[in-house]
């Protein structure tokens, strides 16, 4: 082997053989010189540092110092001359033999050396990510020598080199791992470079996560400091893993989004805690009695707590963080019990005990008060009946045209338009939650039955002719609602026809076979159309006066409010609440709006009568039967009679009042002290009866 073959250092960013410092770099396997970083500089990086250049002398950038070390892919040793190390220590390896088959300083040899360099460094960086401590080797060091956030770096999906994530798209054009036939014009600028690199990042080695959890949760996190904090904290990963296997959250796309949201909240919380206490590096160190005040301060900061007014900008975030931290503490306590560690178990038990007593005082009470106060005076608007009628008419005509157009010439756009209109029509007709209908699966739809299929003869005979006709006109399908309730969806014949057409032309219009939803997105997507956005767009297209009020929640509150005007009985309200997918308590508390209108319109009559002292005149009547005009007429008649008596100059007013012939007044006349006492007793009894009427109004 010639000397030129040994000293092949030009393929790497090392000095050439003619450099005066080249002799120093001929030494093999030199020790690694770590760059010390103070805890204050590394407060948010959880023990992970990024290698930087040593070009700073007295605060100025001087001539480049060639001291970068790279790690061998075969033995894992660091070396400042990796090409020389590979030739001397690993010459029998196939990759090394392939590199040596190319001429010295050729492009082919340089590409292979570069591939081996990136792979060796990635193997070292992978160990750093798993342990949560150490120094990352990046492809290009920062010449300023300042501490760098490791979350700003991601590995390339092709060559595995660690680059700044905002520069990955540039690196892709010169990457040594790209296909040989690829050119600059064939690389799409929309290619997800950062997403590909994020999938290569490992998680903590002390937490066992499934590949499905990585693919569905971790790989879809937005790359940054928060994602880095999540991947490097075993407590957060354990919390997310338990949510993933709980119920069916890990199966549905909606549940996966919720899990990622909860993980991001804990990641932001951990970053905030690190800024206030540099000794804390993970969530488990926060679960300590001595750190309880720091935890509360971090939650208040994230939630936008105003100490002067005692209110929160985002009170729901404070409540969710409290629930998540409680779950994390319980998970850590369970781990301590399994490992028979009594000291840790006592530490976590003490934190849970103090949180039960002081968390309400510090966080929960004021957060819930903020939520309640915002609801008190928030405007309660319902969709206009004219807008709903206009939208329904528009949907009927639009669906008919869309069916004809799709049948004549199937395409992805026409399929999506018909699916959108059909989805909006079902939500509008059933007043169902938009998310529940849009997540209707093909398997659930195929279990649909005719509404009269399972009706017993006695029940069918008890129905009226109109109810029998309606029963024969609808299809009935059960979908999943909140709290795993089965909620019904009624489909008319036109809706059923539209869905059957959509299912028949799914494959022709390019819908993925892996998409299990009826109202699926086109292409390779496995998600559904968004009914909320569709309702808003169609409401604007139909020319509604207030399209912003037409939402699924607004539709549900609209039908609940109309039920108040219909004066439904108790069992009828229970039936309506079950159809809406909740119990009667939720129906009364959240959906019967606007209560202020009903309260002012009806109960103000009682207050006015009590102020006048005329409650006794409406004995035994309900609120709907009370008419203030009748009371005013009675008062005017009484005043006229009294005025007439005064004009005649008769003696005793009470005796003359008894002779007026007014039966209603005669029943409550007071002629002496006993009658006066009797009058007051009747007045109290009538007030109690009226109060009972008010109670019956709220219960109904």
Model pLDDT for residues 547-599, shown as the tens digit of each residue: 999 988 888 777 766 665 555 555 555 666 666 665 555 545 544 444 555 55
pLDDT of 184 strictly over 90:
no
pLDDT band at 401 (very low <50, low <70, confident <90, very high): very high
* Distance from chain centroid for Cα 675: 68
Q: Work out the pLDDT band at 614, boundaries 50, 70, 90.
A: low
Mean pLDDT of the chain: 76
pLDDT above 50: residue 33: no
Burial class (CB in 10 A: 0-12, 13-18, 19+), 15: middle
pLDDT number for residue 43? 41
Lowest mean pLDDT among 30-34, 440-444, 504-508, 545-549: 30-34
Q: Regarding the domain delimited by 402-591, which CATH topology (the fold level of the hierarchy) does it fall under?
A: hpI Integrase; Chain A (1.10.443)
Q: Domain locations in the chain?
A: 3-198, 211-376, 402-591, 596-699
To 10 degrees, what angle do helices 315-338 and 253-276 make?
Answer: 90
Range 133-159 average pLDDT: 85
| pLDDT > 50? residue 486 | yes
Phi first, then psi: what are they for 461, rounded to 5°? -70, -25
- Least-confidence region, from 112-126, 137-151, 298-312, 614-628: 614-628
Phi and psi, residue 650, nearest 5°: -70, 165
Instruction: Give Cα separations from 502 to 402, 478, 507, 642, 697 (angstroms).
Output: 11, 20, 10, 78, 47
Weakest-pLDDT range from 25-34, 329-338, 433-442, 588-597: 25-34
Instruction: Supply 140's token pair.
Output: 């290009």
Q: Which pLDDT value is given to residue 480?
A: 83
pLDDT at position 44 is 46
**What pLDDT, on the 0 to 100 scale, is given for residue 577?**
62
Distance CA(211)–CA(205), nearest Å, equals 14
pLDDT of 3 > 90? The answer is no
Over residues 189-209, mean pLDDT:
73
pLDDT of residue 583: 57
604 pLDDT exceeds 60? yes
Q: Which residue has the higher pLDDT, 186 or 476?
A: 476
Q: What is the pLDDT of residue 559?
A: 73
Q: Which of 125, 123, 74 is nearest to 96 (CA)?
A: 74
β-strand partners of 478: 488
Confirm if 264 and 221 have CB atoms less than 8 A apart: yes
- What's the confidence (pLDDT) of residue 602? 63
Nearest to 502 by CA among 478, 528, 479, 524: 528
Q: Tell if the pTM clears 0.75, that is, is over it.
A: no
| Beta-bridge partner residues of 480 | 486
Mean pLDDT to the nearest integer, 623-644: 54
20 vs 16: CA distance, rounded Å? 9
Nearest to 561 by CA among 531, 601, 529: 601
pLDDT exceeds 50 at position 2:
no
For residue 15, the model assigns a pLDDT of 35
Q: Element (H or E) spanning 22, and its range? A: none
User: Residue 36 in 3-state DSSP?
Assistant: coil
**What pLDDT sits at residue 183?**
52
642 vs 80, higher pLDDT: 80
Q: Of the ranges 4-8, 300-304, 370-374, 434-438, which one carries the lowest mean pLDDT score? A: 4-8
pLDDT computed for residue 16 by the predictor? 36
Say if residue 415's pLDDT is above 90. yes
pLDDT attached to residue 37: 38
pLDDT of the residue at 167: 86
Mean pLDDT in residue range 670-684: 39
pLDDT, position 535: 92
């Amino acid at each position: 082997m010639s000397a030129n073959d040994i000293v092949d250092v030009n393929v790497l960013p090392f000095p050439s053989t003619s450099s005066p410092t080249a002799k120093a770099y001929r030494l093999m396997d030199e020790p690694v010189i770590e760059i010390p970083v103070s805890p204050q500089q590394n407060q948010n990086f959880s023990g992970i540092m990024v290698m930087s250049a040593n070009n700073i002398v007295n605060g100025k950038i001087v001539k480049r110092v060639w001291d970068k070390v790279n790690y061998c892919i075969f033995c894992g040793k660091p070396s400042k001359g990796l090409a020389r190390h590979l030739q001397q220590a690993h010459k029998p390896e196939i990759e090394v033999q392939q590199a040596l088959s190319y001429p010295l300083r050729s492009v082919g040899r340089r590409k292979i050396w570069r591939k081996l360099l990136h792979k060796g460094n990635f193997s070292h960086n992978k160990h750093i990510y798993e342990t949560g401590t150490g120094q990352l080797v990046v492809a290009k060091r920062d010449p300023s020598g300042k501490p760098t956030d490791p979350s700003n770096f991601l590995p390339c999906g092709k060559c595995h080199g660690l680059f700044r994530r905002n520069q990955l798209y540039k690196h892709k054009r010169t990457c040594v791992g790209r296909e040989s036939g690829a050119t600059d014009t064939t690389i799409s600028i929309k290619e997800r470079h950062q997403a590909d690199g994020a999938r290569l990042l490992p998680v903590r080695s002390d937490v066992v996560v499934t590949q499905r959890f990585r693919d569905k949760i971790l790989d879809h996190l937005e790359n940054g400091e928060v994602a880095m904090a999540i991947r490097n904290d075993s407590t957060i990963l354990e919390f997310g893993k338990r949510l993933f296997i709980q119920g069916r959250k890990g199966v549905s796309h909606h549940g996966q989004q919720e899990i990622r949201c909860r993980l991001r909240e804990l990641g932001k919380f951990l970053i905030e805690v690190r800024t206030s206490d540099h000794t804390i590096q993970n969530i488990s160190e926060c679960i300590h009695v001595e750190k309880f005040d720091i935890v509360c301060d971090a939650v208040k900061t994230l939630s936008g707590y105003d100490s002067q007014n005692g209110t929160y900008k985002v009170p729901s975030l404070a409540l969710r963080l409290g629930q998540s931290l409680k779950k994390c503490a319980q998970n850590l306590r369970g781990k301590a019990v399994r490992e028979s560690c009594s000291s840790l178990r006592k530490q976590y038990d003490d934190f849970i005990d103090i949180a039960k007593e002081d968390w309400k005082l510090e966080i929960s009470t004021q957060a819930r008060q903020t939520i309640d106060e915002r609801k008190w005076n928030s405007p309660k608007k319902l969709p206009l009946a004219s807008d709903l009628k206009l939208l329904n008419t528009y949907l009927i005509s639009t669906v008919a045209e869309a069916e004809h157009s799709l049948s004549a010439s199937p395409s992805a756009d026409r399929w999506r338009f018909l699916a959108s209109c059909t989805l909006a029509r079902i939500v509008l007709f059933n007043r169902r939650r938009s998310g529940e209908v849009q997540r209707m699966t093909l398997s659930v739809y195929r279990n649909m039955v005719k509404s009269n299929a399972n009706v017993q003869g006695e029940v069918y005979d008890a129905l009226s002719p109109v109810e029998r006709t309606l029963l024969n006109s609808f299809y009935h399908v059960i979908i999943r609602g909140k709290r795993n309730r089965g909620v019904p969806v009624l489909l008319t014949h036109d809706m059923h026809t539209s869905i059957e057409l959509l299912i028949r032309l799914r494959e022709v219009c390019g819908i993925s076979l892996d998409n299990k939803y009826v109202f699926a997105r086109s292409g390779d997507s496995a998600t559904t159309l968004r009914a909320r956005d569709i309702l808003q767009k169609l409401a604007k297209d139909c020319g509604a006066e207030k399209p912003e009020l037409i939402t699924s929640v607004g539709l549900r509150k609209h039908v609940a409010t109309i039920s108040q005007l219909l004066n439904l009985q108790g069992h009828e309200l229970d039936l309506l609440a079950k159809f809406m997918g909740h119990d009667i308590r939720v129906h009364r508390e959240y959906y019967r709006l606007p209560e202020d209108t009903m309260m002012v319109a009806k109960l103000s009559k009682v207050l006015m009568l009590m102020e006048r002292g005329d409650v006794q005149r409406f004995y035994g009547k309900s609120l709907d039967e009370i008419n203030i005009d009748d009371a005013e007429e009675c008062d005017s008649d009484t005043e006229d009679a009294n005025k007439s008596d005064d004009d005649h100059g008769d003696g005793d007013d009470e005796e003359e009042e008894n002779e007026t012939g007014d039966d209603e007044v005669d029943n409550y006349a007071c002629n002496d002290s006993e009658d006066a006492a009797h009058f007051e007793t009747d007045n109290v009894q009538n007030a109690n009866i009226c109060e009972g009427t008010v109670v019956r109004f709220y219960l109904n």
